Amino acid sequence: MATLTQVGRSVPRLEGQAKVTGRAEYVHNQRLPGMLYGKIVRSTIAHGRIVKLDVSAAQALEGVHRVVTIDDVLKVVPNPFYGPAFHDQPILAAGKVHYVGEPIAVVLARDPHVAEAAAQLVEAEYEELPAVFDEVEAMTSKAIVHDELKPAGTFPDLKHLKGKRDTNLALDFHLRRGDVAAAMAEADHIFEHTFRTQQVLHLPLEPYVSIGEPTDTGLTIHTASQSPSFVRIEIARLLGWPENKVRVKVPYLGGGFGGKLYIKLEALVASLALLVRRPVKISLTMEEQFYTLTKHASTFRIKSGIKDGRITARECEVWWNGGAYADIGPRITQKSGFTAPGPYDIDNVSIDSYSLYTNLTPAGALRGFGIPQLVWAYESHTDMMARALKLEPVEFRRKNLLSDGRPQATGTLMKDAAIAAVLDRVALRMNWSGPFDRGSGTVKRGRGIAIGFKASISPTTSIAIVNVAADGSVTLYCSTVDMGQGSDTANAQIVAEVLNILAERVKVVHPDTDVTPYDMATLGSRSLYHMGNAVRLAAEDARDKLAALARELGLPEGSNVPVAELFQKKYKMQAGNSIGTGSYIPSYVPPDASGQTPEATPFWMVGAAGVEIEVDTETGHVRILKLINVVDAGRPINPRIVETQISSAAVMQLGFTMQEKMEFDAGQVTNASLADYKIPSILDIPTDMQNEAVEAEQGSGPFGGKGVGESGTFAVSPAIANAIEDAVGVRLTALPLSAEAVYRALREAQGAPLEE
């Protein structure tokens, strides 16, 4: 490859200045003429039939424009159910509510304070139904969340669930490889453990916000969404319109993390705008985010057979708490199921992964698409086995790692996955083989390591347009959403590399479905790879067209005439464009009935963590002294942004590991505020945090690059639990690793458990 000048350079973020000076555009700040504000009225019970919904007092309040219920919505959307996997979620509750916080009505007013006051006046009466909250109980529960399952039809593996009754199971994924029973029978040792994770929240500092704007030709939706193309297609489907009547515009996002995907408020504001023929804006409060989408709580039973220090058999059973609506949960269940046995070379594997409905806030993707839940379990398990077998934990891992060319659990051969290199770099930075101060008195020290991996979701499509104007300036049109991850800058660097210009000179047009082409969504670390490839192809297409123009004008090959002069020669003035397009979809083979496929994913992501900690044995407080994060990101397109992606992912997972937990009482979130749900602040972040992307290259990626948004999350939780056991000899199997949980485990180990 020729020397790269734009790729591999830490170009400052193109939007940096606009953001820090408060000029960047966000939906939150948008106001349209005649706009109404909507305030959502929410269910106060977890499961029940709506017996009565009295909106008269709210409607009577001065300043209220209209109070809308599902009966009104039905006038514009006769079949008001949406969702990426199941058409299970109604635009407003239709007859039944399925979780506390479910929208049952909306008050519209010119003044948002009036809408809020009136929302308090809506009275609902319910006939309560039995509810189920736990994912394992949901498997056999008599409480059934949905009367009938309604798969969307877009996923072939969900078709058999159509119309199914009396079940909470929204997907079951099964994988069988080798002969687990035989291998277990031959094993020297068998270990079995169960691990749990809690409900946590995306909590972008810009909460969910959307505006519906009726237009002469259809409808424009301004929305803080990670998936503008999906929004357009799904809204068009709900309205029975062609796609081109729906325009979806997305400026910058104040964070997304997998929350702002698919349909959140968009179907609601679309219906409201069409009903009242005025722009309608709904901005959720921080508190309302707790009633919109969570990360899946999970239970993972894992069992391994060991022979001669090698893992020869592994059995995985995973239950995912999907909440009241499936959202993308079934996809998480399947795709993360692919890698549930971990980055290990195991011949005999069985995986059963279950997506379950419960009467809680719906769960969806959150920075890792299920992977952090799995790594939490299999890397805690790995350490527990090494400890029991008195094997050095890093050596035990090395002996079992998957290497390139070997088949992974799905049968797909590993390729361009720097698993061993990532583990080695963590161990080196930890000085793992060196001496370690174990603390003294009531303060003990410990250290831990963990490693995880992920198969990128597949197959998904990205399309890009690169437009070279007559003066040679370049504009990129694509529907990737820059929600803080730096995609505008990275994509500009790819264009610039191909066209041999400075990345800072490329203009990136933000998603506007009237203008920018289709993209599946900005999720799962897919954009740098998929859109990056499409952007590269589009730029190459534009470059080739310019070369063709030069040939047409009779210029000798490689004459390097400036672009502006080419256009001048062709059109006799500053006129014309060279438009390149690029479309990318990787090859993919769906898994067979045993979960086997030769092509499960276009690329693998690898992330490892190492921690040194201190435990106060009198209180259980854990202090993280050092956190090392190493990933395989292929060749970093923008090294500085890659580093911040690694560190921000690790810090987010640190919050999910040590601090964050949604507390529930009969399905009601009891800590739905930032005062009581604590995300990490700068004071919670270890002072010694090191982040590294190993030297690697993704052969099929744009300039050797691949996604990195999630890799830093994978291994943080088990690394810390492993360090806690190393320090004080107790093992925690449920997140979060709170001081009280550690202290209780210590007391338990002393034979003097603390009373409840």
Partner 1 sequence: MTPFDLAEPATLQEAIALLDPDDPTVRPIAGGTALMLMMKAGVFRPGKLVSLRNVKDLTSIDAAPDGSLRIGAMTPLAAVERSAAVRAHAPVITRTMRTLSNIRVRNVATIGGSLAHADPHMDMPPVLIALGAHVVAASPAGERTIPIETLFAGYYETVLARNELIASVVIPAQGARRSAYLKCTTRAVHDWPALGVAVAVESDGATVRDARVVVSAATETPTRLAGAEQALRGGAAGNALWRQAGEAAAAEAETISDGQGSAAYKRQLVRVYVARALAAALEPDGAN
Binding site for partner 1 (CB under 8 A): 113, 116-117, 120, 287, 618-619, 659, 663, 670-671, 673, 675-676, 678-681, 683-684, 738-740, 743-744, 754-756
What is the closest distance, in whole angstroms, from the C-beta atom of residue 287 to partner 1 in the complex? 7
- Phi-psi map region of 243: left, alpha, beta (phi>0 left; psi -120 to 50 alpha): alpha
Please state the separation of Cα 331 from the chain's center in Å.
12
CB closer to partner 1, 121 vs 608: 121
What is the closest distance, in whole angstroms, from the C-beta atom of residue 659 to partner 1 in the complex? 5
CB closer to partner 1, 437 vs 756: 756
Direct distance between the N- and C-terminal alpha carbons of the chain, in angstroms, rounded to an integer: 64
* Mode of pairing for the β-strands spanning 280-283 and 294-295: unpaired
* Mode of pairing for the β-strands spanning 310-321 and 209-214: unpaired
What is the closest distance, in whole angstroms, from the C-beta atom of residue 586 to partner 1 in the complex? 41
CB closer to partner 1, 39 vs 381: 39
Q: How many CB atoms lie within 10 A of CB 64?
A: 23
CB closer to partner 1, 594 vs 670: 670
CB closer to partner 1, 217 vs 670: 670
738 CB contacts (<8 Å, ≥6 apart)? 620, 658, 659, 661
CB closer to partner 1, 63 vs 699: 63
What is the closest distance, in whole angstroms, from the C-beta atom of residue 442 to partner 1 in the complex? 9
676 CB contacts (<8 Å, ≥6 apart)? 670
Q: How many CB atoms lie within 10 A of CB 674?
A: 13
Q: Is 710 a catalytic residue?
A: yes
Distance of CA 328 to CAs 83, 228, 261, 393, 687, Å? 8, 16, 9, 35, 36
Of 379, 660, 710, 725, catalytic: 710
What is the closest distance, in whole angstroms, from the C-beta atom of residue 113 to partner 1 in the complex? 6
Q: Which of 24, 211, 47 is CA-nearest to residue 144?
A: 47
CB closer to partner 1, 115 vs 366: 115
What is the closest distance, in whole angstroms, from the C-beta atom of residue 450 to partner 1 in the complex? 23
Please report the DSSP string for 348-408 in residue order: EEEEEEEEE--SSS-EE--SSTTHHHHHHHHHHHHHHHHHHTT--HHHHHHHHB--TTSB-
Please report the DSSP string for 707-726 in residue order: --TTGGGTTHHHHHHHHHHH
What is the closest distance, in whole angstroms, from the C-beta atom of residue 624 to partner 1 in the complex? 12
Q: What are phi and psi of 292, to 5 degrees?
A: -115, -55
What is the closest distance, in whole angstroms, from the C-beta atom of residue 753 to partner 1 in the complex? 10
147 CB contacts (<8 Å, ≥6 apart)? 165
CB closer to partner 1, 585 vs 679: 679
Residues comprising the chain, all counted: 756
**Tokens for 192?**
């079995």
Query: Is residue 125 packed enough to be buried (19+ CB in 10 Å), middle (13-18) or exposed (0-12)?
Result: exposed
Q: Which residues are catalytic?
A: 710
